[in-house]
Amino acid sequence: MDKIILEGGVPLNGTVAVSGSKNAALPLMAASLITPGRHVLHNVPDLRDTRTMLKVLETLGTRWSREGGTVYLDTSELTGAEAPYELVKTMRASVLVLGPLLARVGLARVSLPGGCAIGARPINYHVRGFEQLGVKTVLEKGYVEASAQGRLQGNVVYFDNPTVTGTENLLMASVTASGTTVIKNAAREPEVGNLIDMLVSMGAEIEGRDSDRLTVHGVERLAEAEATIIPDRIEAGTYLIAAAAAGGEVTVQGCIPDHLPSLVEKLRGTGIQIKEHDTSFTVTSPGWTEGSRNLRSVDIRTMPYPGFPTDLQAQFMALMTTAEGVSVIHETIFENRFMHVAELQRMGADIKIDGCTAIVTGKKRGELCGAPVMATDLRASASLVIAGLAAEGITEISRIYHLERGYENMAEKMRKLGARIKVVRE
Ligand code: EPZ
């Protein structure tokens, strides 16, 4: 089982380049199914999850190739409309082929993703939205079978909660529907905006980008796509938090500062310095010096964009284990996104959980110690790396395939910043 070994107590210094966004690459790759033809996507990160999406597209008949960050997708031939359980169980975002397949052939059979470490992760909002567009759905044997007689019919779709992939699926299903579709309580994440830009460049007519109300005027067909994946704001935020925890001066380059309004506010609240530039941040942190603690505790509540991202909650919690005072962390998006707490406690962190609230009491330097820990999900893995950077001594993180789902070459990027970190392949 591959693992990461790192020695804490070393500050980070230098520049780290942000890769393309995993959560933008996945819907944009799926969108290539809408139109038969050749599509080009630039700045696609090479991750476990993007490789899984390529496998899903391949099972549907897509031929692809990669040159550096550019992926070429030929979806001229569709040989099937089924995303099998073997693939969907490894990556829930495979459900993103539902919308494109319904738009393309009016048919899709996709395994229900099942739960994952952070929650039940149902897709009822997606299914109900498709039904509003005239799609018949049957849930049986762990699969959702969706079918439509001819073109989908535009309609009003309302989501009880903003759902990111639900919004993306309904956008992709409705762009070639007959008539107009209005998506109410839509997700406003930047990754949704990246998808809208790609669909519009293909000829779709979509109003309301970045708002919670999207209006889609159906068109007959879309053209082939050439699009660029936006920088990964969660990866950028992870490195900002890592620099805050380890101390030092780090420039996080090739990101979009506007995509992290809440995190920057919260990090400034801890007392560290963050300078924003057009496409980068420079963070300067005293880290965790002997005796005193230079970081103040800050409370967070995860919310849909532009609120504090749930995908940065575990990482920020690791930082708060080293801060002065008590931090109250509310996780409002997922029902079980505290899997990292038990592992942080094994390193000496003082964290109490009450439902979806965690109370973190910061420790003195030397009280948070490296230990063998286990990654349970993607962002929990990043949280353990951050805690390991700040802790005294050696931390060994097992099951790092979770980390490799969403972070391109994290160990190498951290090592270039001065971290004493290596991957041990077993
Ligand atoms: C996307 O997941 C992201 N994944 C997640 O990132 C992210 O945590 C999440 O949005 C929230 O920002 C991708 O974009 C590929 P939701 P998604 O639908 O779309 C409930 C990572 O670490 N819900 O916005 O699956 C759901 O259970 C991953 O990169 C329903 O009840 O999340 C959750 O409580 C993890 N029924 C809430 O809504 C539905 O049909 C928000 O989920 C859909 C969602």
Judge whether 175 and 220 are in contact, CB under 8 Å: no
Backbone dihedral angles phi then psi of residue 76, each to the nearest 5 degrees:
-60, -40
Check residue 44 and give its pLDDT. 98
- CA–centroid distance, 391 to ligand 1, in Å, is 31
- CA–centroid distance, 121 to ligand 1, in Å, is 7
Nearest CA to ligand 1 atom 44: 163
What proportion of the chain, given as a percentage, has pLDDT over 70?
98
User: Which pLDDT band holds residue 407 (cuts at 50, 70, 90)?
Assistant: very high
User: Could you tell me the domains of the chain?
Assistant: 3-19+231-424 (3.65.10.10), 22-228 (3.65.10.10)
Check residue 287 and give its pLDDT. 76
Which pair of tokens denotes residue 92? Answer: 């829930």
Closest ligand 1 atom number to CA of residue 234: 29
Check residue 365 and give its pLDDT. 84
Check residue 118 and give its pLDDT. 85
Alpha-carbon gap, residue 188 to 205, rounded angstroms: 18
Check residue 26 and give its pLDDT. 98
Query: Using a 6 Å CB cutoff, which residues line ligand 1?
Result: 22-23, 26, 93, 119, 121-126, 161, 163-166, 187, 310-311, 333-334, 378-379, 406
Nearest CA to ligand 1 atom 26: 121
Catalytic residue IDs:
116
Closest ligand 1 atom number to CA of residue 305: 12
Lowest mean pLDDT among 22-36, 260-274, 280-294, 394-408: 280-294
User: Mean per-residue pLDDT for 65-76?
Assistant: 98
**Axis-axis angle for helices 164-174, 190-201 (nearest 10):** 10
Q: What Cα–Cα distance (Å) separates residue 275 from each residue in 123, 179, 308?
A: 40, 47, 19
pLDDT at 394 over 80: yes
pLDDT tens per residue, range 3-57? 999 999 999 999 999 999 999 999 999 999 999 999 999 999 999 999 999 999 9
Nearest CA to ligand 1 atom 9: 164
User: Which pLDDT band holds residue 204 (cuts at 50, 70, 90)?
Assistant: very high
pLDDT tens per residue, range 77-89? 999 999 999 999 9
pLDDT at 292 over 90: no
pLDDT at 65 over 90: yes
User: Which pLDDT band holds residue 225 (cuts at 50, 70, 90)?
Assistant: very high
Closest ligand 1 atom number to CA of residue 168: 19
- CA–centroid distance, 163 to ligand 1, in Å, is 6
CA quadruple 60, 203, 211, 191: dihedral sign: positive
pLDDT tens per residue, range 342-388? 999 999 999 999 999 999 999 988 899 999 999 999 999 999 999 99
Check residue 165 and give its pLDDT. 98
User: Mean per-residue pLDDT for 117-143?
Assistant: 93
Check residue 113 and give its pLDDT. 84
User: Mean per-residue pLDDT for 308-323?
Assistant: 97
Judge whether 140 and 175 are in contact, CB under 8 Å: no
What proportion of the chain, given as a percentage, has pLDDT over 90?
92
pLDDT at 293 over 60: no
Check residue 117 and give its pLDDT. 80
Q: CA neighbours within 13 Å on the CB side: how many for 39?
A: 28
Closest ligand 1 atom number to CA of residue 27: 15
- CA–centroid distance, 57 to ligand 1, in Å, is 21
Alpha-carbon gap, residue 373 to 321, rounded angstroms: 16
Check residue 159 and give its pLDDT. 98
Check residue 249 and give its pLDDT. 97
Check residue 291 and give its pLDDT. 52
Mean per-residue pLDDT of the chain: 96
Q: What Cα–Cα distance (Å) separates residue 178 from each residue in 101, 105, 198, 218, 258?
A: 16, 14, 20, 5, 35
Check residue 289 and give its pLDDT. 63
User: Which pLDDT band holds residue 258 (cuts at 50, 70, 90)?
Assistant: very high
Q: Cβ contacts of residue 412 below 8 Å, gap of 6+?
A: none
Top mutation candidate among 53, 132, 163 for ligand 1, by most atoms within 8 Å of CB: 163
